[in-house]
Chain A
Amino acid sequence: MVRTTVSLSELPEGSTATIRDIDSLSPTSQRLLDMGFVPGTSIRAVKKAPMGDPTTFEIRGYQVGLRRSESSLIDVEINPDDR
């Protein structure tokens, strides 16, 4: 199976993915980790805001809005059925 990782900011609306990696150098990362954005977690892009940014994601049963600058710190693997 070929694994395709993309940045979370490129995850299309409505599709589900699994978190693979998170940029450890950004100061934002600690907060993202604490909120449950850890590798192996499943995540879904719910909705983009009217002007394309930010985007709401659903993770661990709650919804959170992230800007492109935050979501680009996270690498995800899009689930096969959604590709």
Chain B
Amino acid sequence: MTGKIQRSVYLVGNPNSGKTSLFNAMTGERRRVGNWPGVTVQKLEGITNTDLATLTICDLPGTYSLTPATPEEEVVLKTIDEAATGCIVNVVDIANFERNLFLTTQLIELGIRPVVSLNCFDSFTKAGGTIDLQKFSAYTCTTPFPTVARTGEGTKNLVEFIGQNAAGISSDAGNWLSLPSIWLDATEQALKSKGLRWDSATATQRYAALSDLIRLHPAQIIPELIEIRQNLAKKLSEGRERPVKTTDLACELASDRYRRIEKLIAACAVVPGKNIPAWQEKLDRVLTHRFFGLPMFALMMAWIFWTTFSVGEIPMGWMHSLVEALSDFVQANMQESLIKEMLVGGVISGVGGVIIFIPNILILFFWIAILEDSGYMSRAAFIMDKMMNSIGLHGRAFIPMIMGLGCNVPAVLATRIIDNRFQRLLTMLLIPLVTCAARLPVLVLLCGTFFPENPSMWMFSLFFVNLLVLIFLGQFISVIFKTTENSPFLLEMPPYRLPTPSSVFHMLYEKGAHFVEKAGTVILAGAIIIWVLSVFPREVPLSCDYEMQLTQLRSQEATDEVTAKIADLSHKRDIELLEGRYMARLGKFMHPVMAPLGFSWRETVSLIPGFLAKESVVSTLAVLYLPYSEHTGDAMRKTGMTPLTAFVFMTFTLLYIPCIATLGVMWRESGSTRFTVLCLVAYFAIAYGVSYVTLKIGTVLQGSSGMAWFEGMVIITVSLFAGWYLLKTFIVTISGSKCNSCASCNSCPTKSKQDCSGGCP
């Protein structure tokens, strides 16, 4: 590899412009690509080789403008100086030309000459658009490349060009997109006040000077710039009917940029008249219909759960027999030893108990991938916004929430798309209450065992309980901190697209591999630890000498009666042995805490490895219940677990502390240990409280019939709501009243207007 040039390439562009697709096409990696803004929340890096150079390609989060509105967009601004030393590829969705060129204009104004990837070129030409690339290149001093990142068309040329050339073209004469002289002069003056010069300033310094000039809010204006701003406004006013005020500067600059863009497009391209085809609007009219939009969304969700569970049961059965066959094979063909015992009792039953859920997880992700790629996810956020808003969340929070269905870890990362810190923390707090795929095995196992008539309905009801808790907590916190202050809501609606098989496959591959990897590492380790705890100490004092009795029985003639006795005796022995192991001791030690919820010590123990990875709850149960039956569900039923306890146990598993990985990201993303610890305590308390209430409600429902249980139900529901309402009113009373806590709130005389919409009387 020596002798090759090393070059860093940075991809910048609008959200959903196809940066990640281009990244994949350039590097051959398989990053997740979705058809909704904000899929990339961190910098991604990949390496590709050309004949001349080794390129390190870096995919930056999408942004509409260099002016950051969210923490993830800040990444772009922070990287600009570093990127300017390498090569910047500006990904421009040509089907959305004007708005995408805004970022290009900003880059050019700062003296950066990006290589422009005119992406989605196929749909542009298909709609009748044409562009004169030579003119575009001449007027912008950039090198444009038409690309179709989804299919990889044109990316080869792009990569080769970057491999051959140093960053962009440096000639700057007659660039149509660069800053007009009036603005340039003012920026130069602003730089001078900081002791800098335009020629020697870095892109970030130029950017800072320019954005200081156009600051909107009076409180943010730097005193040295007041005169420069006034002069600038005066110059801009020349020849106008209405004089330009200094507060209009931001508007003037944006308008000027768009005028330059319009002029450029008019000179070198024919943009198709209507970008959005009629069928898309019709589809939108149906999917976001005033009355049918929400029910359709709910139906879609129900369909996803149904297929995940009921349809997924069939391949799950296959996986199950496969694992059993493997277990039998080892049982029959290996020498009796501790290793064999570990293989059968620990590894195969533990990891196998989790691996059989792969079909369910793949089905769930298949649907999520379809929803994302088709562009429906943004519509879902759109129709859910009002509802999310009522629990104090942003419509965008819906996206991490949905991601949370898969895994809470990326969901916590995805909260970066929310710009307001409080909203972000609130979303982060609520995400672990979203049932991630890892919790699915517990649901599938228990619902299948205890509610065989209609497992998906019960599963849905558990999700519903979970959702209620989430809503109540969100409401509660919004009330306590009396904040309905919202970050700006700008939700781009991407055009509908047919999901490509390869994109869906990538998602399934990624998630499946992630799951298998987890099963092979964390869960394997967990399963072995649990196994060790459940087979040691080897010597356990027994109530009678089972071995002797068994030997006696075996020496007798093998009648049915004797065989049954042998089975019964060895079964009793196994249970007695299990109860003498460390695991049982640990479980029994902790049991008093969980006993009020009706859990046995086995369930109590299974919750501990659940902290490592939620799937381990099932694998632990499988190991602990092995002496009773091969089939964990049957064993649980045999040892006296009722459907009610099962339901309570599921509720608890859904709600109690998130796994260690999620907590880790929460801690890192929030940057607050206090917040993380508080969350941890809150989850446990909530899980305990909700499970207890569920148990009591269930007992009332079961214990009595007819009117009695109906009354009980009503009393509990009413008291729950009353309790919550009282608490809410109480808080509102002591903390003053609920207002929008807008920017002017500190000086607000009333603090009582619920709907002051940002301005107080």
Residues of A at the B interface (CB closer than 8 Å) are 22, 24-36, 38-41, 46-54, 56, 58, 60-67, 69-70, 72
Contacts and interface: CB of A to CB of B under 8 A. Distances in A.
Interface stretch (B91-99, B176-184, B188-196, B360-368): B91-99
B216 A27 contact: yes
A39 B275 contact: no
A29 B251 CA distance: 9
A54 B398 CA distance: 14
A50 B291 contact: yes
A25 to B, nearest CB: 6
Contacts of A66: 489-491
Given A31-B67, A31-B488, A50-B294, 8 more contacts: A24-B248, A29-B251, A38-B251, A61-B276, A65-B489, A67-B389, A69-B757, A70-B490
B250 interface: yes
A4 to B, nearest CB: 18
Given A50-B289, A51-B386, A63-B492, A36 B102 contact: yes
B293 A50 contact: yes
B251 A34 contact: no
Contacts of B96: 60-62
B69 interface: yes
Nearest to A61: B275
A48 B255 contact: no
16 contacts: A24-B216, A27-B743, A31-B488, A34-B64, A36-B258, A38-B254, A46-B284, A47-B285, A49-B382, A61-B96, A62-B275, A63-B276, A65-B382, A66-B489, A67-B395, A69-B758
Contact of B67 (A34, A52, A56): A34
Interface in B72-107: 95-99, 102
A49 B490 contact: no
B213 to A, nearest CB: 13
A51 B217 contact: no
A72 B488 CA distance: 12
A65 B275 CA distance: 17
B254 A34 contact: yes
Nearest to B740: A69
Contacts of A22: 251
Nearest to A58: B276
A18 to B, nearest CB: 13
Nearest to B291: A50
A65 B491 contact: yes
B65 interface: yes
A54 B491 contact: yes
Contacts of A35: 64-65, 99, 102, 490
Interface of B: 64-65, 67, 69, 95-99, 102, 216-217, 247-248, 250-251, 254-255, 258, 271, 275-276, 281, 284-285, 288-291, 293-294, 378, 381-383, 385-387, 389, 395, 486, 488-493, 743, 757-758
A24 B491 contact: no
A24 B65 contact: no
A46 B491 contact: no
Contact of A25 (B247, B258, B289, B294): B247
Contact of A26 (B65, B99, B491, B758): B758
Contacts of B758: 26, 69
A28 B275 contact: no
Contacts of B247: 24-25
Given A33-B250, A63-B276, A53 B386 contact: yes
Nearest to A53: B386
A30 B276 contact: no
Contacts of B395: 54, 65, 67
B744 to A, nearest CB: 10
B263 to A, nearest CB: 14
A65 to B, nearest CB: 4
Contacts of B743: 27
Q: Which of A50, A51, A61, A65 has the most CB of B within 10 A?
A: A50
Contacts of B281: 46
A26 B758 CA distance: 9
B270 to A, nearest CB: 13
B492 A64 contact: yes
A38 B64 CA distance: 15
Given A49-B288, A62-B492, A66-B489, A39 B385 contact: no
A38 B258 contact: yes
B560 to A, nearest CB: 67
A11 B493 CA distance: 19
A61 to B, nearest CB: 4
B67 A50 contact: no
A45 B69 CA distance: 24
A36 B492 contact: no
B251 A40 contact: no
Contact of B385 (A34, A38, A53): A53
B65 A50 contact: no
Contacts of A67: 385, 389, 395, 486, 489
Contacts of B385: 49, 53-54, 65, 67
A54 B436 CA distance: 29
Contact of B493 (A25, A29, A33, A64): A64
A51 B388 CA distance: 12
A77 B736 CA distance: 40
Given A27-B216, A50-B289, A65-B385, A56 B493 contact: yes
B284 A30 contact: no
Contacts of A52: 386
Contacts of A64: 490-493
B552 to A, nearest CB: 75
A7 B383 CA distance: 22
Contact of B271 (A25, A38, A41, A61): A61
A28 B485 CA distance: 13
B254 A49 contact: no
Contact of A70 (B98, B254, B489): B489
* A-B pairs, 7 with minimum CB distance: A34-B65, A33-B254, A28-B488, A65-B491, A51-B386, A61-B275, A63-B493
Contacts of A49: 288, 293, 382-383, 385-386
Nearest to A55: B382
A36 B383 contact: no
Contacts of A32: 488, 490
B156 to A, nearest CB: 29
A51 B96 CA distance: 29
Contact of A65 (B97, B294, B493): B493
